[in-house]
Amino acid sequence: MRSGQRDLVEKLLPEIEIDLENEKAFSLAALFADDGRQVWLEIGFGGGEHLAWQASRNPDIGLIGCEPYLTGVVKLLTKIRADGLENVRLFRDDARLLVDCLPNKSLHRAFILFPDPWPKLRHHKRRIVSDSVLDRLAGALVDGAQLRIATDDPGYLEWILWHMGRRKEFDWQARSPADWRNRPEDWPPTRYEEKAISKGCKCAFLTYTRKPR
Ligand SMILES: C[S@@+](CC[C@H](N)C(=O)[O-])C[C@H]1O[C@@H](n2cnc3c(N)ncnc32)[C@H](O)[C@@H]1O
């Protein structure tokens, strides 16, 4: 690791890293000084392009990013410092640990962009889009909140559509392929998406809404 990167990990990261040790006291509001802001969550942010973009365009929103991959975390830390972003907090572990601690009705948006597809049947249980994660997100998202999911993997797309389609808490308002084949303007491309497109893959951009309770 270069010295600039070490400095980011040793100095900036501890200031914005989420510690679940004392999970009973875990509160999303407290992460952002209880200033009443809305909180969005991104699971598996990779190099953090999308998270940093959203944080810089939505300075009044608190952004939480989960990513266990240190190289990706360092990339995001570099952007946070370069752009002076003050509204980002990081969880450097399996997102499921954090999702399990999310209080009810605490989240205003969630993103799961190009999750690892785990194509082999015996690995499907590792997929992040799962009944247990969706149970927790359905509880944590406020009424009307968006859950955005993207994938370029046809098998995972089918899986997501099936898992989401049978949930009573979420609504999918797409009426034609244009509604999910095209990325909305307030949804920037990620590195993974760019790689997928360069290989000729087609991407799906799914926006679900948490129905009123
Ligand atoms: C295919 S990459 C996509 C990265 C990024 N979202 C993008 O679109 O460029 C999937 C990412 O999810 C992360 N990931 C996998 N399992 C995870 C988990 N359980 N919790 C948090 N992140 C996870 C991986 O480390 C990886 O960076």
| Nearest alpha carbon to residue 201 among 148, 153, 158, 161 | 153
Ligand 1 atom 18: the closest Cα is on which residue? Answer: 94
Q: What is the residue with the minimal CA distance to atom 27 of ligand 1?
A: 46
Q: Is the pLDDT reported for residue 26 higher than 80? A: no
- Rounded to an integer, the average pLDDT of 118-131 is 95
- Give the distance, in angstroms, between the CA of residue 161 and the centroid of all CA atoms in the same chain: 18
Which atom number of ligand 1 is nearest to the Cα of residue 95?
20
Alpha carbon of 122 to ligand 1 centroid (Å): 19
What confidence score (pLDDT) does residue 39 get?
Answer: 97
Q: What is the pLDDT of residue 25?
A: 62
Q: What is the mean pLDDT of the chain?
A: 95
Positive or negative, the Cα torsion across 161, 166, 170, 174? positive
Residue of the CA atom closest to atom 23 of ligand 1: 44
Report the separation in Å between the CA atom of 46 and the middle of ligand 1, taken as the mean of its atom positions: 5
Topology of domain 3-15+27-210 in CATH is: Rossmann fold (3.40.50)
Task: Quick: pLDDT tens for 146-201.
Answer: 999 999 999 999 999 999 999 999 999 899 999 999 999 999 999 999 999 999 99
Is position 116 annotated as part of the catalytic site?
Answer: yes
Share of the chain above pLDDT 90, in %: 90
Which band of pLDDT confidence, cut at 50, 70 and 90, is reported for residue 17?
A: very high
Q: What is the pLDDT of residues 61-108, one digit of tens each?
A: 999 999 999 999 999 999 999 999 999 999 999 999 999 999 999 999
pLDDT tier at 27 (50, 70, 90 boundaries)?
confident
Q: How much is the pLDDT for 23?
A: 54
Residue 62 has what pLDDT?
Answer: 97
Q: Which residues line ligand 1 (CB under 6 A)?
A: 43-46, 66-69, 72, 94-96, 113-116, 128, 190-193
What pLDDT does 24 receive?
57
Q: Which atom of ligand 1 is nearest to the CA of 45?
A: 6
pLDDT band, very low/low/confident/very high, at 33 (cuts 50, 70, 90): confident
Residue 42 CA: nearest ligand 1 atom is: 6
Per-residue confidence (pLDDT) for residue 137, from 0 to 100? 98
45 CA distance to ligand 1 middle (Å)? 6
pLDDT, residue 204, reads: 97
Point out the catalytic residue in the list 34, 83, 116, 186: 116
Residue 2 has pLDDT above 90, yes or no: no
Where do the structural domains in the chain lie, given as residue ranges? 3-15+27-210
